[in-house]
Amino acid sequence: MFELPKLNYSYDSLEPYIDTKTMEVHYSKHHKAYTDNLNKALENYPELQNLPIEKLLTDLTSLPKDIVEAVKNNGGGYYNHSLFWQMLAPKNGHSLEKPNEYVADMLNATFGSFDAFKELFTKTATSRFGSGWAWLVKNADDKLEIYSTPNQETPISQGKTPLLTLDVWEHAYYLKYQNRRAEYIENWWNVVNWDFAQKQLLA
C-alpha cells in the first residue's frame, strides 16, 4: 500500500511565495486523495500493491486494463506530487537562487544561458492549457528537454528523468493567486530546490 510521503518542511515555510493554506490543502487533501485512490485502484491486485510506483508508471501497458486509467491518473498524481515537494525548499533554508555548477553547465550548454532556460520553462508552464505540469527532464539520449504534460501524466512513463517540475493545476495556486498563474510561476523560482535537480541529474 502506498503512503503519503512526509514533507521535509512546514506548510508555512514557503511563504510568501507559496502560502500556508495552499500547502496544507494541496498536501493533506489533494495528494492524500491521489494516494487513497491509487490504493483503491490496486485493491483487487495484491501482486501490484508492493511494487515501486516508478515500476507501475513506466509499465502502464502491462497493467490490467480495468485499472490503467486509474493508475495513470492517481499513480501519476501520487508520484508527481512526491517529486514536487522535494523540488521545493524554503528560501532561507537550502534553496539556492541559481542551480549548482553541474546543472548550470548543462542548462547553459542546452539553452544558451540560465536566463534563456528560465524564460523557456516559464513560457512552457504559463501556456500549458488547462491542468498539468511543466518539466525539465533528461531524455533517453541524456539531453535536457523542457515540456509540459496534461493532467497527471508523468515523464517516467515516457522514458524521461524529471529534474524539475512545476504543478500548474489551479489547486496549486488559486487560493493566493486566483487567475494569475504567471505571478505564481514567477514567485515559485524563489523556492526551487536546485540540490534535488542536481541529485536527479547525477543519479
189 grid coordinates: 523560482
Query: Is the Cβ of residue 111 or residue 188 nearer to Mn ion in the bound state?
Result: 188
- Are 148 and 132 a contacting pair, CB within 8 Å? yes
> Is residue 194 a contact residue for Mn ion (CB under 5 A)?
no
Nearest distance in Å: CB 80, Mn ion: 7
How many Å apart are CA 122 and CA 111, to the nearest integer?
A: 13
DSSP assignment of 39-107, as one string?
HHHTTT-GGGTTS-HHHHHHTGGGS-GGGHHHIIIIIHHHHHHHHHHHTB--TTTT--SS--HHHHHHH
Q: State yes or no: cis peptide before 5, omega within 30 of 0.
A: no
147 grid coordinates: 515540456
Find the part of the chain contacting Mn ion (CB under 5 A) among 57-65, 90-98, 132-140, 159-167.
159-167
> Is residue 35 a contact residue for Mn ion (CB under 5 A)?
no
> Is residue 188 a contact residue for Mn ion (CB under 5 A)?
no
> Is residue 173 a contact residue for Mn ion (CB under 5 A)?
no
How many chain residues touch Mn ion (CB under 5 A)? 3
> Is residue 87 a contact residue for Mn ion (CB under 5 A)?
no
Find the part of the chain contacting Mn ion (CB under 5 A) among 92-100, 104-112, 161-169, 185-193.
161-169
Query: Is the Cβ of residue 110 or residue 131 nearer to Mn ion in the bound state?
Result: 131
Interface positions with Mn ion (CB under 5 A): 167, 169, 172
